[in-house]
């Protein structure tokens, strides 16, 4: 599979999320034949749902499309390393492979903070491929938080009232 191609599509989803004032993380699920089953971006604020991470949204959509909660032989592409919540869901769904762009040292569960993929107590161990389009993925997230910090400094009262 062309990991760079699919990661670039995930980056486009992340950019849409950022334009909607969401943390710009994009994800997609691809079948073993190379067909995109689902794609989305973080929508925690939009949906008022703490579980509305890009990975969770694509897992839900893909499961509905194939009428099965097991997403066997699929690959999830995500711009930032999945968090502990998302890794739990990915493992439960039996996704075969996780491809991500940049590590998340504060929440990551694919090797930076935790490594659920190598935890022998769990019954599924997805293959992990990291660093695909790493610089681009890192740049998108860093630019978003840089802008947010700048905006918050100037418009702190507004930012607090809209919950962002």
Neighbours of 86 (CB within 10 A): 28
Report the alpha-carbon distance of residue 58 to residue 39 in Å, rounded.
Answer: 6
Q: Residue 99 forms beta bridges with which residues?
A: 77, 129
Report the alpha-carbon distance of residue 62 to residue 31 in Å, rounded.
Answer: 10
Task: Please list the active-site residues.
Answer: 55
């Amino acid at each position: 599979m062309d990991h760079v191609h699919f990661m670039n599509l995930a980056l486009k989803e992340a950019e849409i999320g950022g334009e909607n004032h969401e943390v710009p993380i994009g994800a997609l699920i691809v079948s073993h034949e190379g067909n995109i089953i689902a794609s989305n971006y973080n929508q925690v604020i939009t949906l008022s749902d703490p579980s509305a991470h890009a990975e969770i949204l694509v897992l839900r959509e893909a499961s509905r499309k194939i009428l099965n909660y097991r997403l066997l032989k699929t690959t999830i592409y995500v711009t930032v390393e999945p968090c502990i919540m998302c890794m739990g869901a990915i493992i439960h769904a039996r996704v075969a492979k996780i491809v991500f762009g940049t590590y998340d040292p504060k929440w990551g569960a694919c090797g930076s903070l935790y490594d659920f993929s190598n935890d022998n107590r769990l019954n599924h161990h997805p293959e992990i491929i990291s660093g695909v389009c790493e610089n681009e993925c890192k740049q998108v997230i860093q630019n978003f938080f840089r802008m947010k910090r700048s905006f918050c400094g100037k418009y702190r009262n507004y930012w607090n009232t809209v919950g962002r």
